[in-house]
Amino acid sequence: MNNEMLYSNSGHEKAHEKTQYAFCSSFHHFEIPDHLLDQLKKGNVVIFAGAGISTETSNAFRCTFYDEIRTELALNPKNKPPFSTLMSMYCKRPDGRRDLLEKLRSRFEYIAAFPELLRAATRFHQEISTLFHVDTFITTNWDDYFERYCGATPFVTAEDFAFWNVPGRKVFKIHGSVSNYGSIIATDEDFSTNSFDFASMPFLSASSSAMPWSAVPQCGTESSVIFIWQPDEPGLSLRRGGETFLPAG
């Protein structure tokens, strides 16, 4: 069955028709290239998922974590520093780092307390969990949704990454995890001092603050990587050779 037949028989075209409703307005028509379908069948697909797939979507929260912190700092409306710089500004306050982590934890707990919000925040993870062909995820997100909904083992530290080729589903959390406060990379200082150096590792190379094009499994020179992230995602660019690739925005 070719790609066109697969899509038309799935019913998605009708189900995902755009409407005036906010929840459905984010559905977009797309066609999966036949090459990618073949790669999925072979298990040669890696998903790189960044901001916007979970709690930072408007369907889960009216405002982003960035907006929440910026509001508390009472910045001038025209003062919109980069994400990591804003987090640094907040952490310079008394007990700022601890308060920042508490705010982050409270944000996830709030979502967990309301089933409708949790469904919205984990919709991507629940959909992707059904693709049993995909067993490797890379994410910059701090939540534990890949672990809970996709059954992925979290790899958070450089010591974890050394075991990149163990069998089973795994998620590489290059900016840390809410389950491990000490691992979270959020501020300018974090990105400059705590970025992992993967230059000698077969799975990843360079650092999480400048994610290289080669950030795919070593099996992986044969793998296709699906990138999903936002144009203004902190500390993230993709490079191949001398070129830098940014997301379409």
Q: Residue 98 falls within a domain, yes or no?
A: yes
Tell me: do 104 and 135 sit in the same domain.
no
Tell me: do 53 and 72 sit in the same domain.
no
Tell me: do 130 and 148 sit in the same domain.
yes
Tell me: do 150 and 88 sit in the same domain.
no
Per-residue pLDDT of the chain (249 residues; tens, 9 = 90+): 444 554 455 444 444 454 555 556 566 677 888 888 888 888 888 898 887 788 777 667 778 899 999 999 999 989 999 999 999 999 999 999 999 999 999 999 999 999 989 998 998 899 999 988 899 998 989 999 999 999 999 999 878 877 877 889 999 998 899 999 999 999 999 988 765 444 434 444 434 444 433 443 444 456 788 888 665 555 554 444 443 344 433
pTM of the entire predicted model: 0.76
What b-and-e string marks burial along 194-207, b requiring 16 or more CB atoms within 10 Å of the CB? bbbebeeeebbebb
Q: Residue 25 falls within a domain, yes or no?
A: no
Q: Residue 5 falls within a domain, yes or no?
A: no
Please give the tally of structural domains in the chain.
2
Q: Residue 161 falls within a domain, yes or no?
A: yes
Domain span including residue 96: 65-112
CA nearest neighbour of 61 among 50, 70, 52, 71: 52
Tell me: do 104 and 204 sit in the same domain.
no
**Measured between alpha carbons, how far is 244 from 241 in angstroms, rounded to an integer?**
8
